[in-house]
Amino acid sequence: MPDLFTFIDAVRREKPRDVLDIHRTVSPKYETAAILTKLEQASRFPIVFFHHVGQSAFPVVSNVCGTQFRLALALGCSIRELRGRYAQACEQPIQPELKREGPVQEQVFIGKDVNLEILPQLVYHEDDAPRPYITAAIIVARDPETGKSNLSFHRLMMLNENTTTIFMARGKHLDHIYRKYESAGESMPISAFIGVHPACSLGALYTGTADTEEYDIVGGLQRSPLPVVKCVTNDLHVPAEAQFVLEGFVSLGKQVEEGPFGEFTGYSTGTARCPIFTVNALTCRYNAVFQDIVGGLMEHLLLPIPGMEYRLLTLARAAVPATTTLKVSVPLTVFVAMKKQDDSQPERVIKALLDSDIYVKQVVVVDASVDVSDLRQVATAIALHTRADKDIFIKRRCLGTELDPSCESPEGCTTKTGIDATLPLNGMRPVNKNRVPQQLLDSIDLSELLQAD
Ligand SMILES: Cc1cc2nc3c(=O)[nH]c(=O)nc-3n(C[C@H](O)[C@H](O)[C@H](O)COP(=O)(O)O)c2cc1C
């Protein structure tokens, strides 16, 4: 079955320079993050395999999903087909297959034998809390009412050998599930798995309705049922081929200071109050590799995009069928293109999207002739088409994210903006885009012209 190892092997075969092995011992404190930052500053995005990190017996692999090429390779398609492939997986989900055993339970540490300090103790940025973080943990929890399980990434700050904090953004599904346990007066059982094939990471980042089983999306993405095993100390299921699993529960009531932590925005925004995750069991493979994602680098930005774009495009098309495409390329911002049929349509899409997700803070709508993946074209459309008094929509008191450095409320309450950057259909003056006759354009043979020159 596809797992982290088979994926890295596939990358080594397809593009050997896309995997960088570092055999010397590196420090877990800042050095792994510094190496990845330095590579990214030089526009290099390899998977980095750190074979020796500090005192830990476990190697670290970082930046697994750091390029579109690798995401496409993971899903068996081209970069151009990525969005369609994601949509197909969401529309044709495949249920996981429960196995009796799996490599992730080759080694089992329970109760007093749990020691999170055997894991690489990674510290990232100078202004971060001086504690190690686990950044690539996918949390599985079960909704106590519907019985559906949910997957999502959550940063875990290690407190001691068997506890971490867990950061759960307000309004997202894990927070929603936690509140249900809270109102029933029960702690929330969770398991955190680390080290998976990118299809699993992309499936966990599906952002649809709470009753969708994200394991089924993972199955759809890899075109086969995901093998899962039951956890050793709770009833949750985890990928049989993962590298590590931490099993335990999030307690009610007590919250501790967490952070600061450098996030996907490129900023850290102070400390938060977070509940505690107590780990009852740690299981792993014999040859486990610890997966890592450096906050704010390209991988962190790229990974959520397929899931977000799929859902936002569905919502935009439901609001205005004339929506042609959509792009999430900078944090908290969505660019939408449409062949508008009347001047009210951009505002309808803006309204539908601003409320749809805490991570949507700005929506810019352009005409279909504008390439939404070209920031220069989008900025030009804003400059030339937008009339600030008529085409900019301000929405106050929205639920955004506290990770937004401009957010003034600790709960993430913020003001959102929509910009209609489409050309008005019935402007005061006739406006036409510059055009030379297409027939002439087609008839010009550029190579002949340049040769003659
Ligand atoms: C690397 C990475 C780390 C993340 N860390 C957190 C986190 O600490 N807390 C959080 O609430 N969301 C975090 N997210 C975002 C959620 O995983 C994401 O919004 C997810 O889709 C939410 O799932 P849901 O739709 O089931 O609510 C992270 C995403 C990535 C890619």
Q: Which of 64, 193, 205 to mutate to test the pocket of ligand 1 (most atoms within 8 A of CB)?
A: 205
pLDDT at 366: 98
Work out whether strand 19-26 and strand 47-53 pair parallel, antiparallel, or are unpaired: parallel
pLDDT tops 80 at residue 300: yes
Tell how far the Cα of 448 is from the centroid of ligand 1, in angstroms: 54
pLDDT in tens, 242-299: 999 999 999 998 899 999 999 999 999 999 999 999 999 999 999 999 999 999 999 9
Terminal CA-to-CA distance of the chain, rounded, Å?
Answer: 58
Would you say 46 and 36 are in contact if contact means Cβ atoms under 8 Å apart? Answer: no
Q: Which amino acid is at 93?
A: P
Would you say 255 and 275 are in contact if contact means Cβ atoms under 8 Å apart? Answer: yes
Using CA positions, which residue lies closest to atom 24 of ligand 1? Answer: 173
Scan for tokens 């069928």, then name that residue: 321
| Whole-number Å distance between alpha carbons of 88 and 93 | 8
pLDDT in tens, 284-298: 999 999 999 999 999
pLDDT tops 80 at residue 428: no
Q: Is 133 in the pocket of ligand 1 (CB under 6 A)?
A: no
Q: Is 205 in the pocket of ligand 1 (CB under 6 A)?
A: yes
pLDDT in tens, 172-219: 999 999 999 999 999 999 999 999 999 999 999 999 998 899 999 999
Q: Which of 128, 142, 153 to mutate to test the pocket of ligand 1 (most atoms within 8 A of CB)?
A: 153
Q: Please report, to the nearest 10 degrees, the dihedral formed by the alpha carbons of residues 128, 330, 35, 303 taken in order.
A: 90
pLDDT tops 90 at residue 118: yes
Angle, vertex CA 169, rays to CA 165 and CA 171, nearest 5 = 140
Alpha helix ranges (H) inside 247-362: 298-302, 305-319, 345-354
Tell how far the Cα of 331 is from the centroid of ligand 1, in angstroms: 14
pLDDT tops 70 at residue 407: yes
pLDDT band at 452 (very low <50, low <70, confident <90, very high): low
Q: Percentage of the chain surpassing pLDDT 90? A: 94
Work out whether strand 60-62 and strand 47-53 pair parallel, antiparallel, or are unpaired: antiparallel
| Whole-number Å distance between alpha carbons of 149 and 210 | 9
Q: Which atom of ligand 1 is nearest to the CA of 151?
A: 26
Tell how far the Cα of 300 is from the centroid of ligand 1, in angstroms: 10
| Whole-number Å distance between alpha carbons of 110 and 116 | 12
pLDDT at 431: 86
pLDDT tops 90 at residue 409: no
Q: Which atom of ligand 1 is nearest to the CA of 205?
A: 21
Using CA positions, which residue lies closest to atom 14 of ligand 1? Answer: 153
| Whole-number Å distance between alpha carbons of 91 and 151 | 18
pLDDT at 98: 98
For the record, the structure tokens of 221 come out as: 């993405």
pLDDT at 410: 82
Q: Is 304 in the pocket of ligand 1 (CB under 6 A)?
A: yes
Tell how far the Cα of 136 is from the centroid of ligand 1, in angstroms: 10
pLDDT at 453: 59
Q: Which amino acid is at 55?
A: Q
**For residue 382, what is the enclosing H or E element?**
helix 375-385
| Whole-number Å distance between alpha carbons of 111 and 55 | 23
Q: Which atom of ligand 1 is nearest to the CA of 295?
A: 1
Q: Which residues touch 314 (CB under 8 Å, ≥6 apart)?
A: none
Using CA positions, which residue lies closest to atom 22 of ligand 1? Answer: 152
Residue 211 per-residue DSSP state: T
Q: What is the mean pLDDT of the chain?
A: 96
Q: Which atom of ligand 1 is nearest to the CA of 207?
A: 25
| Whole-number Å distance between alpha carbons of 40 and 452 | 43
Q: Is 163 in the pocket of ligand 1 (CB under 6 A)?
A: no
Q: Is 167 in the pocket of ligand 1 (CB under 6 A)?
A: yes
For the record, the structure tokens of 152 come out as: 């999502």
